[in-house]
Amino acid sequence: MKRALIVRHVPVEGIAGYREPVEAAGYRIDRVDVADPGFATLDFAEPDLLILMGGPMSVYEQDRHPWIASLLHRLAGRLERDRPTLGVCLGAQMIAAALGARVYGGPRKEVGYSALTIRHPLLRHLEDRPVLHWHGDTFERPEGTEWLASSELYENQGFRRGANVLALQFHAEMGRDERFDTWVDAWPHDVAAVGTTAERLRADHATFGPPSLAAGQAVMAEWLAGLD
């Protein structure tokens, strides 16, 4: 059986609803936290699929989080070999940085459900479906990659490089995950920064989350089926 390894930057950011299509594609899923003692020596080239999820830290905060530099170095080596790699939110920014692109703070937070403008047929399942956003950083699209989507606030919401590397800024995986409530409770300053409320976010999650997840799972299944 093929092996997928999830790199988890904080406990409240996991694979969530993407687990189903990954397992359906024949992968046994393992997980490692960046705080685990063995993380620093982990061989990133070994897993058949590497999945990097989100987190509240920034790629450029390497003075506060020394593990980021080590992660980027090993990730760059994996990408040089064109090994199948998925990044979500912070994970997408990690991929961008490992490919030599700039990651930086955006003009303001993007938190809550809103629709994407789809730029590539891989994301056609998400057309006209509000998806969850929760970030304040963004990235320049690396050279040699395809532009997948944009939003009203951020031009780059995703890119792919060839068949094997996929970076998604948004959280289509969270549509039925109870950890969404933890996000709302853990980061009230983010909620306030965009002028919304916890109640509104929870109501939107109940309405838009399930169809967003179904669309996100369709995207994931299609991408996994096309891996080289």
- Could you give the maximum distance between any two Cα atoms of the chain, in Å? 47
Looking up tokens 């090994």 gives 83
Cα dihedral 188, 191, 194, 197 in deg (nearest 10): -120
**Active-site pick, 125, 135, 171, 205:** 171
**Active-site pick, 9, 89, 110, 125:** 89
| Closest among 228, 173, 171, 222 to 24, alpha carbons compared | 222
What would the two tokens of residue 12 be? 């409240």
For residue 19, what are the CA distances in angstroms to 14, 30, 58, 67, 153?
9, 11, 25, 25, 29
Contacts of 146 by beta carbon, 8 Å cutoff, 6+ apart: 120, 159, 160, 161
User: Annotated catalytic, 89?
Assistant: yes
- Within 13 Å of residue 16, how many CA atoms lie on the same side as its CB? 25
Looking up tokens 């891996």 gives 227
**Active-site pick, 9, 133, 135, 173:** 173
Catalytic residues: 89, 171, 173
